[in-house]
Amino acid sequence: MIHVEHLRKTFTTRTGRFLSAGRRTHEAVRDVSFHIPRGEIVGYLGPNGAGKSTTVKILTGLLVPDSGAVTVGGLTPWQDRRRHVARLGAVFGQRTTLWWDLPVIESLRLLRHVYRIPHATWQANLTTFTDLLDLGPFLHTPARALSLGQRMRADLAAALLHDPELLFLDEPTVGLDVVAKERIRDFIAHINREREVTVLLTTHDLGDVERLARRVLIIDHGQLLFDGDLARLQAAYGSQRELHVDFDGPVAQPEVPGLTLLSHEPGRATYAFTGAAADPIARVTAHAPVRDLTVREPDIEATIRRIYEGDLLRAGIR
């Protein structure tokens, strides 16, 4: 569905006034390649300014890259804009595609004409989405009067009325409460399963990723650092478990042979270890009297932070 080969994009910003103008270049995307088959949900992660939104802009046809080949369903996005965008849907968390002052239903009607959706298809989709996303209570409310969660649901429906093959989601759950997040995640999982819609999900909310994506792409400084299963990411980079120990009183020597000391304060220490917990626990209890112990599992958030911070895979495992 999506093929990206050796994608590069550099931005030039002018500095200073126009006579003494200097130029600074910033490589937003450096030699990024990946393929996404039809029907997959892929989480696209990276810190702010890593090159995520530049990639998404190129894939949606908003931006033309400096070099590299991109095809989406056989089309080059920026060369065949209208045919390309007719087959994709996009929801950007911070802004809406709905007509601000018009009732939601009117926006959805207008989109029927913009996308030239056959009336029967439009009607069937509207009924389905109204049901799944519970749009009924606010179909006749102007977009500007919707809550954030309602607006996001309406935007999701708007992006899918024309049966797109590909859906771009940018921070679809940002700012929502737990219940609203869950409803949106369920809906995305549903349309992916039932309609084989390919989904590229950029988000800072790792809950979205854990719930929806089997595969993640991690980008930082314009370079793709990781492309693979979430499970493999955990196994390869999240393997450090943590042992939190409360000693029975202050301990003069917190270092324990065979364990990595992460932090300590009088009477307390945190160690990192890999594999089973029995051996490290035995070593600690042999070292000094212990009142309490907890083993903390690595979470994906910590794993990804470690990748961003710790140059763990500049070379990359592809």
Packed helices 148-160 and 119-133: angle between N→C axes, nearest 10 degrees: 150
Q: Does 236 bind other proteins (CB under 8 A)?
A: no
Beta strands in the chain (DSSP E): 2-15, 22-36, 41-45, 67-72, 88-92, 166-170, 198-202, 215-220, 223-229, 241-247, 260-265, 268-273, 290-296
Report the sign of the C-alpha dihedral through residues 309, 173, 234, 242, in that order: positive
- Rank residues 23 and 297 by Cβ distance to other proteins and give the closer one: 23
Q: Considering the complex, what minimum distance in angstroms separates the CB of residue 139 from other proteins?
A: 16
Question: Helix, strand or coil for residue 8?
Answer: strand
Residue identified by tokens 């999240």 is 238
Q: Does 24 bind other proteins (CB under 8 A)?
A: no
Q: Does 99 bind other proteins (CB under 8 A)?
A: yes
What does the alpha-carbon distance between residue 156 and residue 180 come to, in Å, rounded to a whole number? 13
Out of 22, 82, 276, 289, point to the residue binding other proteins (CB under 8 A): 82
- Rank residues 18 and 274 by Cβ distance to other proteins and give the closer one: 18
Out of 55, 60, 141, 192, point to the residue binding other proteins (CB under 8 A): 60
Q: Does 116 bind other proteins (CB under 8 A)?
A: yes
Out of 27, 33, 86, 139, point to the residue binding other proteins (CB under 8 A): 86
Per-residue binder mask for other proteins (CB under 8 A), 136-155, x = binder: ------x-------------
Dihedral, 198, 200, 205, 211 alpha carbons, nearest 10: 20
Q: Does 100 bind other proteins (CB under 8 A)?
A: yes
| Strand order across the beta sheet in which 2-15 lies | 22-36, 2-15, 67-72
- Rank residues 66 and 246 by Cβ distance to other proteins and give the closer one: 66
In this structure, the strands spanning 166-170 and 88-92 are parallel
Q: Does 308 bind other proteins (CB under 8 A)?
A: no
What does the alpha-carbon distance between residue 34 and residue 45 come to, in Å, rounded to a whole number? 14
Out of 29, 36, 90, 156, point to the residue binding other proteins (CB under 8 A): 90
Q: Does 74 bind other proteins (CB under 8 A)?
A: no
Q: List interacting residues with other proteins (CB under 8 A).
A: 11, 54, 57, 60-64, 78, 81-83, 85-86, 88, 90, 92, 94-95, 97, 99-102, 106, 110, 113-116, 142
